Structure 1
Amino acid sequence: MVWIKRAAWALLVVFVVGFVVLASWEPMAAEKTDPQPDRVYTAEIVRDEFGVPKIYGKTDADVAFGVAIAQAEDDFFTLQDVVAMSRGRYGAIAGEEGATFDYVYHLLDARGTAQREYPELPADTRALFEAYAAGLNQYAKDHPDEVKLANLFPVAGEDVAAGFVLRQPFFFGLGNVIGPLVEGEELRREYGPDIPGFPREGSEGAEQPTEQAHQGIHPLPWGEDAALLGSNAFAVAPDRSGGPTTLISNSHQPLRGGVAWYELTVESEEGWHFTGANFPGSPFPFLGHNEHLGWTNTVNRPDMTDIYKLEMNEDGSQYRLDGEWRDLESETVFLPVRMGPVVLPIPRIIHRSVHGPVIENDKGFFAIRYGGMGSVEQLDAYYRINKATSFDEWQEQIARLAIPSTNFIYADEAGNIAYVYNAAIPDRPEDVTANWRGVLDGSRSDLIWQGTVDYEEIPKVINPGSGWLYNANNEPYTAAGASDDIDPESVSPILGVERKQTNRSRRAYKLLSQASLLDEESLRRIKYDTAYEREGYVADLWDALEELDFGEPTMKDAQLASRARDILLEWDFTADNQGRADALALLMIRDFMSAEYQNKSEMPGLRELLEKSAEHLMEHFGRLDPPMSDLLRLRQNGVDLPLDGGSDTLRASTTWQVDEDGRLSLVHGDSFIQWVEWNDGEPVQSRSIQPFGAAITRPESPHHTDQMRLFVDHQLKPVYFWREDVLANAKRRYTVTNASYFNLVIRAAAPQGVCQSTLQR
């Protein structure tokens, strides 16, 4: 019996040792960051009645330090997730879902790209990112109890840059290529016009679906395809508005998380003065305005990615290129995957060829190559357009095509308005016969393009005669009215520019074209419009409902679905909370919109979805026609408010989660809205709104939910851009710094509830 006890003790020791190792290996193995030598940063943060921060500093770097502190005060929870993603460690926080990010981090060589390219950026741009990293480090140092993961800090500017490398490609749909390749699923791509090597689907020479890639099958690791999230943007010249040059930013992003907007204003003595919004992990706003000009963005969907099937040798270690065998670069990485109290190291092999990242599945080895690959120049370009003072300066930076994708809608104090279909589209050789929308022959080096097309080839409209511009995630060929729109035949089809319309686009184009005057009242009606045009997938859906034959329904679910269909056929095609069919229509439209928008080969089953929607309403509301506002809600920390709008209306309530009570809690749709006006001879003024509040993950803060009522009521709040307005409306004003002595003074003097790295004035 003694040996049994000894064996039991040995097993127990092995178990304990194994548990300790699995619970502690990941922080110990994490790559160490070497921050830049200490530099003292000092910034002032002023918060208004809604807690929105205005960050001031002597230098741009001081301001960037303050941006990190301000955002950490409001949302350190999300910032840490972003930092973990930027270091390939998100699986240690979020488990298997987080490890998906980490796999892509290694696949795209986010760290290697940052290490190679970040040192080549201009010194002032790197100074901005080093300062931002220093702010994150300072907050983490002052608040160790909030840190989620050991050794996550300190970080350096290079870490922040790696986050940009990781996230940006997914805005033009790279996740919808990686997903199917990883799973070994069939790949389909939308076909272009009938030109040599570029056949339409179903035409002679078209490849079969198993050899085509399709943008839109798989969502991003972030949970949704960025393109599906949508956005609206409008610019109106003074002659058409009857007064100011107007810019309306109406982005549709997730309301929470790593790509949710955060509002801020920055100003330095070096000429950086801008107000708008960024995503967690950025030292500067991505959209908004300065004194002279402004812009906003909508997601576009150019064909930015090419897929190559490699010809491999027997053991999979080499691939053939131009008749010669080359070694496939391979390395084993360990993805951290948290499971309860332990983190498991899951091995994955990462491959690369001269084409780019390589994914192995049951069908073979596939390389991918995409626009903007291997570059971090967007970090510099965003910084420069923040400080541009004229259209020429702004366009000079956009023309670099350093920002890989997204439409830009622009306006300025001089009355200029512009639309640029910005995209770093691969410079594919037009004299080479190849189906660029299919899977390419990886053994041909002439198919491995270098660089991007010239800016002159990108669709754009500048100062149209109509006096207005818009985009709602539609093709660039409807942007300014019939007399000013771009002719699709003028754009090379090999660029892969999408040919798609959204309901939002159809409505915006119709309403803008019909309006004789686009003053504030008219623009508000357009921006908050809740109607659908009976065109495209909406027409297809209602035509199918009319043709749906239930015969003599005898089953209870069939009877219920038949009644629901009859209600839907009476709908007035507005999601305004007034029609008895609004709730049913809301439940029906989203899946059809999503399928059409993502080019899915099959639409949802109509009868099944109708039955499911009807049963949901009966179960939770006891009727098929409850007010839509009872169904669709904006919810946060006990505040529960009704919403209007639907998936793909200009007042966008795009996607939701179904709560236990059957209500639909908005997940993304209308998010940060900013309305900017330049009146002749007057300083710029703007208003804005967020769905929740500035302190998005701080339930104890009064600014956790304080914008919700304004948001649901279609109201905007003032933006305090000018210093005198900021100070006149200041509710809290304090200084942040990383100076050691000053921090000691602050810790001793800071009142309860004030960040340790701040000093209340």
Structure 2
Amino acid sequence: MKSPSYYLGLAGLLLLIQLPSLGLTAQDLADQVVIRRTAYGVPHIKAENMQAAGFGLGYVQLEDYGRGVVDGMVRARGEWSQFHDMNAQERAQSLDRDASNKLRYSRAVETFSLLRKETQDVLIGFAAGMNRYIERHKSEFPEWIKPNFTGYDVHAQSIGGVTGGSVQGFMRTLQRQNANSRTLTEEVGMQVLEGSTVWARLAEKEEAPHPDEGSNAFALAPSRTTSGRAILLRNPHLAWNAGYYEAQLEVPGILNFYGDFRIGGPLITIGGYNERLGFSTTNNDPDSDEIYSFQVSPTLPDHFLIDGTSLPIEKKRVSVKFKNGEGSGEETREFLFTPFGPVFHRENGKIYVIRDAGNGEYRLGEQFLMMMKARNLAEYKEAMRIQAKTSSNFTYADADGNIYYVWNAMTPDLPHPSGGDTSAIAVTRSDQVWRNIIPFDKLPQLLNPKGGYLHNENDPFHYTNLNEVIDASKFPPHFSQPILRLRSQHALDMIANKKKFSLEDVVKLKYSQRMLLAERVKADLIAAVKKSSPTGEIADALKQMEDWDNTVNRESKGGVLFEIWWEHYVELSNGGKRVPGTAASVGFPAPGNALFAEVWTPAYPATTPKGLASESRAVEAFIKAVETAKKRYGSWDLAWGDVNRARIAGKDIPISGATGELGTFSVLWFIPHKTDKMKRETRGGDGWVIAVEFGKTPRAYSVLTYGESNKDGSPYFADQLELYANKQMKKVAFTEEDIKKGVIKEYRPGQE
């Protein structure tokens, strides 16, 4: 039987005439929305209906990010290769991605009509706003970019796909076990084996996230604030090209939400607040998929055995166009499917299938829209019960005084122990394969706990509140297990007490530059080096350690040397080998008992680890650190900001903050400086930060570190960097009165 072939190119977009709409022209929509920019270019979009609201948001995103938004839509269509010439290797990878994106696009077309009309309207409006901007600013875009984007394109961006990390992990394990493949190390990385499908090739190229990609969040109950009102802090730290976008979207009587509308769509990942409540996301790491192996049929080609019979493997062939110099070409990619999930590998009489809870999920934008519109905790929970968000912790606060936390996940209800990403579960019967996800109300969560606080810094749910520790034994074993790393402990040290905080106090807490690791081990380091009777430069460096204030403030001296010392100490403690981090080592890649005199323990989760396990290694590492600092940076006698810089939009300034594994709350990570080999520059970290207090009218402060725009020449590109570097935030204009007082520009899309 001939396999079906799929092609969804621009010609295929004729199907889109079926898209529902309000029958409004671009001019109609422009007349129904007004954009007001306040300080730092924050857009406040006020519209008469949801389609006009999406229209305004699409327009301003292109104003500020231009090609960044358009490129995402082109990729979502699966048409990147069609317009970009590449070498053979790059093209092969791009064609794989385009083909898989076309499958997701077909899912977007299939499910669009299943969305609520208001969700459809926002997506259609966003695309129309993009088109309006492209029409009015053609010179900003190459000729091949046309103003023909649709709600399907916007919807396709949030369609769930296959978890590449799990496939990658399993394939690496399979390679190590495969006697027919050469021995591979983690450093070599994953190599695609014979029998691997497009899914495995895509997984091969998937990059692991930076270990500091995550967020901080906490909520304080009215009993813990000076105003008697709940306070919420949202503090994500991703790469500085992640596209956080601060805006207010209002449709009177329907929606009034101030928050992060991630660049590329109106409803991709949202955090912020309305008049009554707010919520924040922090990354978690649930087990949302399972890998299964099936025996192939010995008699029927492209069939597998299940329930005592043979079932066919479905084949889908996707055609993808590509640019080849001045010409063009077309290739086909084949995808294999079973009723239990896609096939990513075949060998030795088996097929390997990944069953992913989020694959094909289409309601993410709709869930976020319902959350944005919620007026109370009950409505917010009802939106969360959609469970279209595969992962993320959610921390919540509202004007009724509630604070609430949930370890959100689309986690399978497994009929077997989890295989993780290192083994496949062999099945012969369909009832051995998971069918349902664990319902929202059975996920770990806390409401208004004792002590009046909630927090999360990307560790699991267990120690969200020390007064009401969540018992791991009450949940399935494939749920995250207890660990509390130093950044999380830093948060607890600040709020797990009886103090009362104002909103301004919370802003100060967010900018805490303490390095908790130094507070735990520096005394032992100093004692050990003193015992060695240091002289000369080592004695001088030790004096700096003694005088150091244990912070990564940009003017503070000592942090540069301490960070390098710890790097060497860990290397000496793990013998130079790749050792996975554990709870005992609070995530550091060495055995906990080789690092610390007292390892982390659940008995004392917020005060361990502490002390050093080895004086001799500490001394050896310190001597090495002095020499390494001189080689890397020219000296060990440097302030943190002498080395660590924020370099963006022509600015190059000293910056406070460090990697979260050291126990800092203000998280930044660095790469080698582009123009000065003796310095580093920020690659990511604190992005959009907001602290909000819920009263009759919400009151908030925020900062978007890299600004509202990434366009060269924009006044909003990195214009908030100094604000962040000076540990300040701007007052948020939320009410009509505040917006009118602060407006610096008012216009309708295309009429500015």
Q: TM-score range by the shorter chain?
A: 0.7 to 0.9
The residue aligned with 1:477 is 462
Report if aligned partners of 1:632, 1:666 keep a CA contact under 8 Å in 2. yes
Q: 2:240 aligns with which of 255, 261, 281?
A: 255
Counterpart residue number, 2:665: 650
1:574 has 2:555 as partner: no
Residue 184 of structure 1 contacts residue 362 of structure 1 at CA under 8 Å; is this kept in 2?
no
Partner secondary structure for residue 654 of structure 1: strand
- How is 1:340-489 mapped onto 2 (pairs within 5 angstroms)? 348-360=333-345, 365-429=351-415, 432=416, 435=419, 438-481=423-466, 483-489=467-473
More deviation, 383-392/91-100: 91-100
Displacement of 1:535 after TM fit?
Answer: 10
Equivalent pair of 2:255/2:373 in contact (CA under 8 Å): yes
Matching of residue 637 in structure 1 with residue 637 in structure 2: no
- Residue 155 of structure 1 deviates from its aligned partner by 2.1
SS of alignment partner, residue 50 of structure 1? helix
Alpha-carbon spacing, 1:26–1:387, altered in 2? closer, same or farther (3 Å): closer
Q: Residues 317 and 266 of structure 1: is their aligned pair in 2 closer, same or farther, counting only changes over 3 Å?
A: same
Higher mean alpha-carbon deviation, 278-287 vs 64-73, is at 278-287
Take 2:538 and 2:335, find their aligned partners in 1: how far apart are those partners?
49
Match of 2:194 in 1: none
Q: Which shifted more, 340-349 or 463-472?
A: 340-349
User: Of the candidates 229, 233, 256, which is equivalent to residue 273 of structure 1?
Assistant: 256
CA distance in structure 2 between the aligned counterparts of 1:220 and 1:670, rounded to whole angstroms: 29
Q: Structure 1's 110 and 414: CA in aligned 2 closer, same or farther, altered over 3 A?
A: same
* C-alpha displacement of 1:639: 0.9
1:661 aligns with 2:646: no
Structure 1 unpaired stretches of 5+: 1-24, 189-217, 553-558, 737-756
Alpha carbons of structure 1 residues 222 and 29: separation in structure 2 relative to 1, 3 Å: farther
Contact kept in structure 2, 1:584 and 1:614, CA below 8 Å: yes
**Secondary structure of the structure 2 residue equivalent to 1:302:** coil
Identify the residue that residue 306 of structure 2 maps to in structure 1: 321
Q: CA separation in 1, counterparts of 2:669 and 2:504?
A: 24
**What does residue range 601-640 of structure 1 map to in structure 2 within 5 Å?**
617-619=629-631, 621-640=633-652
Distance 1:526 1:63, change over 3 A: same
SS in 1 for 2:496: helix
Task: Compute the RMSD of aligned alpha carbons.
Answer: 4.3
Contact 1:251/1:673, CA 8 A, preserved across alignment: yes
Report whether the alignment pairs 1:723 with 2:708.
Answer: no
Instruction: Please name the residue that 1:299 is paired with.
Output: 283
Question: Residue 67 of structure 1 aligns to a residue in which SS?
Answer: helix
The yes-or-no answer on 1:678 pairing with 2:697 is no
User: For each residue in 1:7-32, what CA deviation from the matched residue of structure 2 results, as whole angstroms up to 9, or x when unmatched?
Assistant: xxxxxxxxxxxxxxxxxx99888866
Distance 1:361 1:470 in 2: 44
**Secondary structure of 2:386's partner?**
coil
Q: Following TM superposition, by how much is the alpha carbon of 1:237 offset from its aligned partner in structure 2, in angstroms?
A: 1.2
> Do the aligned partners of residues 670 and 397 (structure 1) sit closer, same or farther apart at CA in structure 2, a change above 3 Å counting?
same
Instruction: Please report how far the alpha carbon of residue 254 of structure 1 lies from its aligned counterpart in structure 2 after TM superposition.
Output: 1.7
Separation of aligned partners in 1, 2:705 and 2:60 = 19
Deviation at 1:516, TM superposition (A): 2.4
- The Cα shift of 1:69 comes to 0.0
User: What residue number does 2:574 align with?
Assistant: none
TM-score calculated relative to the size of structure 1:
0.77
Please tell me whether residue 55 in structure 1 is matched to residue 45 in structure 2. yes
Shift of 1:562: 13
Q: 2:482 is matched with which residue?
A: 499
Asked if the contact 1:305/1:370 (under 8 Å) is kept, the reply is yes
Cα deviations by residue, 1:80-113 (Å, 9 ceiling, x for unpaired): 2211221123455595679757635644841232
Q: Which of the residues 129, 153, 161 maps onto 1:159?
A: 153
Match of 1:150 in 2: 144
Q: Would you say the 8 A contact 1:182–1:361 is kept in 2?
A: no
Residues 101 and 221 in structure 1, CA contact (< 8 A), matched pair in contact too: no
Counterpart for residue 114 of structure 2: 120
Q: State the shift of 1:578 in Å.
A: 5.2
3-state DSSP of counterpart to 2:159: helix
SS of match in other structure, 2:39:
coil
Structure 2 unmatched ranges of 5 or more: 1-6, 178-201, 572-577, 596-616
Give 1:265 shift: 0.4
Q: Is the 8 A contact 1:588 1:613 kept in 2?
A: yes
Residue in structure 2 matched with residue 235 of structure 1 by the alignment: 219
- Conserved 8 A contact 2:279-2:396: yes
Relative to structure 1, is the Cα distance of residues 603 and 29 closer, same or farther in structure 2, using a 3 angstrom cutoff? farther
Given that residues 220 and 226 in structure 1 are in contact (C-alpha distance below 8 angstroms), is that contact kept between their aligned partners in structure 2? no
* Deviation, structure 1 residue 707: 0.7
User: How far apart in 2 are the matches of 1:399 and 1:674?
Assistant: 26
Q: Out of 554, 560, 584, which is 1:583 matched to?
A: 560
Cα drift, residue 320 of structure 1? 2.1
Structure 2 match to 1:688: 702
The 3 A distance-change label for structure 1 pair 146 and 455 is same
1:92-147 deviation per Cα after TM superposition (whole angstroms, max 9, x unaligned): 55956797576356448412322322221112211111111111222222233333
Q: Residue type matched to 1:673 in 2?
A: V
The number of equivalent residue pairs is 664
Q: 1:712 aligns with which of 718, 721, 725?
A: 725
3-state DSSP class of the match of 1:164? coil
| Whole-angstrom CA distance in 2 between matches of 1:61 and 1:157 | 11
User: What is the alpha-carbon distance in structure 2 between the residues aligned to residue 546 and residue 166 of structure 1?
Assistant: 53
- Kept after mapping to 1: 8 A contact 2:8/2:77: no
Contact 1:247 1:676 in 2 (8 A): yes
Cα pair 2:79 2:98 within 8 Å, conserved: no
Q: For the structure 1 residues 334 and 613, does the alpha-carbon distance in structure 2 shift closer, same or farther, using more than 3 Å as the test?
A: farther
Q: TM-score, normalised by structure 2?
A: 0.78
Question: Would the aligned equivalents of 2:507 and 2:729 in 1 still touch at CA under 8 Å?
Answer: no
- Please tell me whether residue 103 in structure 1 is matched to residue 80 in structure 2: no
Superposed, 1:508-523 pairs within 5 Å as 508-520=491-503, 522-523=505-506
CA contact (8 A) 1:107 1:351 kept: no
Does 1:733 pair with 2:746?
yes
Tell me how far 1:502 sits from its aligned partner. Answer: 2.8
Helix, strand or coil: the match of 1:110? helix
Deviation by residue 1:252-271 (Cα, 9 ceiling, x = unmatched): 12211xx3210100111342
Q: Matched residues in 2 for 1:610 and 1:316: separation?
A: 64
Measure the CA separation in 1 of the matches of 2:563 and 2:90: 29
How far residue 290 of structure 1 moved from its aligned partner, in angstroms, is 0.4
What is the alpha-carbon distance in structure 1 between the residues aligned to residue 280 and residue 208 of structure 2?
Answer: 21
Q: 1:441-490: CA deviations, max 9, x gaps? A: 14442232223111221000101121111110011011122x22222222
Deviation at 1:673, TM superposition (A): 0.4
Equivalent residue for 2:198?
Answer: none
